[in-house]
């Protein structure tokens, strides 16, 4: 899943779940100040993202550093990549030697 696909999904969530107008959803839009989210909205956003991508979003330094829409998108892409690496079979090319 690439950044553009994740971005489209997150923007869709903002539009449908939080009724944020599309023109306000710019990369540098601050989640709290510009988009009007509060801490409960962030929890709901994480639940929606977990449902959409089947990933476990946990409290971490990276998660606490999210301030803008672009930060959120980058974080989700990173988590998806981590999950994909974790689920991928290990390269065992030396076992047949």
pLDDT digits (tens, 9 = 90+) for 22-60: 999 999 999 999 999 998 998 898 899 889 988 877 777
97 Cα distance to chain centroid: 41
pTM of the model: 0.83
User: How far does the chain reach from its first CA to its final CA, in angstroms?
Assistant: 35
pLDDT at 73 over 90: yes
Among 18, 21, 29, residue whose Cα is nearest residue 70: 29
Predicted local distance difference test score (pLDDT) of residue 10: 94
Confidence category of residue 14, pLDDT binned at 50, 70, 90: very high
Tally Cβ neighbours within 10 Å of residue 10: 19
Instruction: Enumerate the domain spans of the chain.
Output: 3-82
Q: Which CATH class is domain 3-82?
A: mainly alpha
Mean pLDDT of 12-23: 94
Predicted local distance difference test score (pLDDT) of residue 91: 59
Mean pLDDT of 74-80: 91
**Mean pLDDT, all residues of the chain:** 87
């Amino acid at each position: 899943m690439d950044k553009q696909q994740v971005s489209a999904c997150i923007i869709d969530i903002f539009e449908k779940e939080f009724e944020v107008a599309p023109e306000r959803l710019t990369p540098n839009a601050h989640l709290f100040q510009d988009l009007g989210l509060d801490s409960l909205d962030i929890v709901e956003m994480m639940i929606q993202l977990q449902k959409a991508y089947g990933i476990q979003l946990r409290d971490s330094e990276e998660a606490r550093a999210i301030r803008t829409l672009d930060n959120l998108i980058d974080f989700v892409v990173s988590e998806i990549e981590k999950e994909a690496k974790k689920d991928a079979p290990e390269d065992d090319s030396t076992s047949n030697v």
